[in-house]
Amino acid sequence: MSSFHLLRVIYLSISAGIVLLDQFTKALVVDRIPLYRSVPVVRGFFDLTHVRNTGAAFGIFASLESPWRSLFLNAIALSVFAAVLIWALRSPVDAGRLQVGLALILGGAVGNLIDRFRFGSVTDFLLFHLGRYEWPSFNVADSSITVGVFLLAWVLWTEAPAGETPASS
């Protein structure tokens, strides 16, 4: 196997690993924690809380009552997935940080898309809070997307575009 193909397999494995971990953790939560119940992990800071998110990230559009909401969110998610996949395939395979960032985004997007297509919502369960302040619940896929976006932003911010040296940018 060529190094080109080996790197592609590694990036695909990262995405697949995220999907598997995401679906496994969501299945555990659905199986072991009743809907809308919490299990304290670190009292006053972190709970496992089983919720269903019918909206986008952090519940955006969840309160929108429309028969088109699910179709709209799925169309947006599929479009982003396609754009990121095309970007990954058109980018140099040896641009490791870029490819890993894109692989993390793809894995997270697929994990949440599976939920949307199967259930019409996404299972969220990681809840951080401090006193009365609370971060919206999220899951492994959301975490992967967030880390991937930050890695991607870092790469775009710190690495010169093709043909430029860092001094000329």
**What would the mean pLDDT of 113-138 be, rounded to a whole number?**
93
User: Which pLDDT band, with edges at 50, 70 and 90, does 71 fall under?
Assistant: confident
Percentage of the residues of the chain whose pLDDT score is greater than 90? 75
Reduced to 3 states (helix: H, G, I; strand: E, B; else coil), residue 1 is coil
pLDDT for res 169:
46
Using an 8 Å Cβ cutoff, are 121 and 54 in contact?
A: yes
Q: Is 124 a catalytic residue?
A: yes
pTM of the predicted structure, to 2 decimals: 0.87
- Domain-wise residue ranges, the chain: 3-161
What's the CA gap between 142 and 131, in Å, rounded?
A: 23
**How large is the average pLDDT for residues 30-39?**
98
- 142 included as an active-site residue: yes
Q: Which two tokens stand for residue 126?
A: 């990681």
Taking residues 157-164, report their average pLDDT: 72
Residue 130: its pLDDT value, please?
Answer: 92
Which of 22, 47, 115, 124 does the annotation list as catalytic?
124
- Give the distance, in angstroms, between the CA of residue 158 and the centroid of all CA atoms in the same chain: 23
Average pLDDT, stretch 59-82?
Answer: 74
Note whether 108 and 145 are within 8 A (CB).
Answer: yes
Quick one: pLDDT band at residue 36, thresholds 50, 70, 90? very high
